[in-house]
Each structure stands twice: as structure tokens, then as C-alpha cells.
């Protein structure tokens, strides 16, 4: 069977009609490209999202919290650049703020006012509420501290 029966003669300035073989090759190429795109896009999206988030987190330098009325010896959980953070209003009317991410395996820590400490329930890690220093349990290093200041009735938390 001749695949070129409907093809115009060479030399008349027109393109020859595609053969069945050419059509199958183009179709196979398009299917392959679609397959690669289907596999690659989620990876690209994941890596792009992680990079975007890191840039966004780095760009946040401070946050102003409406926490001036937070009672003494209480804590406020908030997000700093999309990550959990904690503002503590100490009984002497001073403030401390830390990342609320445990330095052991990344659980979110909680303030325990009755014991004056920050506790991680995952593996019993304990931090000092005044300094963020790791005092017992598995955490290998202190909580990341933030600076605090009171400006026009708001508590401003910024990177140290």
C-alpha cells in the first residue's frame, strides 16, 4: 500500500501531506511531552513553593500585635512569617517572644504560667520562659528569640 497516494508532487511549492508514520511520531512525541510535564510540574511547583515561602519568611522583619491588654503571666500564640511564635507577658510587665517551634523535632511548644516555663509535650522538652534557654529534655538548643517593644499600645515583635 502506498502512503503517498494523496501527497502532491514534489517541486510544486506545497508541503507534502503528512504520512501515517509522521502522524504517529508527532502523536507519540506529544504524548511523551505531556507525560514529562505531568511528572515534572508537581516537582517544579513544590520546589517553587518552598523557595517562595523561604523568601516570604525572610522578608517579614517584624509584626505589631494588639496585645497590650494581654494579662500578666499569660502568653499569646501568633504567626511570625507564617510560623508559630509566642509572646509572653511576664508578671513584672516585661515581654518575651520566641519561635514556638521546638528545637528538638519541631513540635509547637506551649507556655505554662503556673510553672513559669515553656514546655514541649512531644518529648518533654523544657525551656526557660525568660530566656528561651533549653533547660531539660531533648531540645539541643534554645528557642529562637525575637525582640519586643511596646509602640503606641501595640507590642512589636521583630527579629533579633
- Which residues sit at the interface with ligand FES, rule CB under 6 A? 102, 104-105, 107, 120, 122-123, 125, 137-139
How far, in Å, CA of 112 to CA of 35, rounded? 53
The strand pairing partners of 96, in sequence order, are: 88
Query: What is the rounded CA–CA span in Å between residue 29 and residue 32?
Result: 5
- Residue 89 or 119: the one with the smaller Cβ distance to ligand FES is 119
The least CB distance from residue 113 to ligand FES, in Å, is 19
Nearer to ligand FES, 81 or 122 (CB): 122
CB of 144 to ligand FES, least distance (A): 14
C-beta of 73: minimal distance to ligand FES in Å? 23
- The residue (of 63 and 109) whose beta carbon lies closer to ligand FES is 109
Give the sheet arrangement for strand 110-112, strand by strand.
Answer: 110-112, 117-120, 125-128, 134-136
- CA distance linking residue 100 with residue 106, whole number of Å: 9
Closer residue to ligand FES (CB): 13 or 106 = 106
Cα(18)–Cα(26) distance, integer angstroms: 10
Amino acid at each position: 500500500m502506498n502512503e503517498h497516494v494523496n501527497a502532491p508532487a514534489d517541486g510544486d511549492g506545497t508541503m507534502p501531506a503528512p504520512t501515517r508514520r509522521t502522524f504517529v511520531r508527532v502523536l507519540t512525541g506529544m504524548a511523551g511531552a505531556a507525560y514529562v510535564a505531568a511528572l515534572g510540574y508537581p516537582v517544579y511547583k513544590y520546589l517553587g513553593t518552598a523557595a517562595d515561602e523561604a523568601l516570604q519568611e525572610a522578608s517579614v522583619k517584624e509584626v505589631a500585635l494588639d496585645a497590650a491588654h494581654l494579662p500578666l503571666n499569660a502568653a499569646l500564640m501568633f504567626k511570625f512569617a507564617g510560623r508559630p511564635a509566642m509572646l509572653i507577658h511576664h508578671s513584672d510587665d516585661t515581654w518575651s517572644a520566641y519561635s514556638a517551634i521546638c528545637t528538638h523535632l519541631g513540635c509547637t511548644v506551649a507556655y505554662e504560667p503556673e510553672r513559669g516555663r515553656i514546655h514541649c509535650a512531644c518529648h518533654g522538652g523544657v525551656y526557660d520562659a525568660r530566656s528561651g534557654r533549653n533547660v531539660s529534655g531533648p531540645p539541643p538548643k534554645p528557642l529562637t528569640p525575637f525582640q519586643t517593644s511596646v509602640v503606641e499600645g501595640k507590642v512589636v515583635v521583630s527579629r533579633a
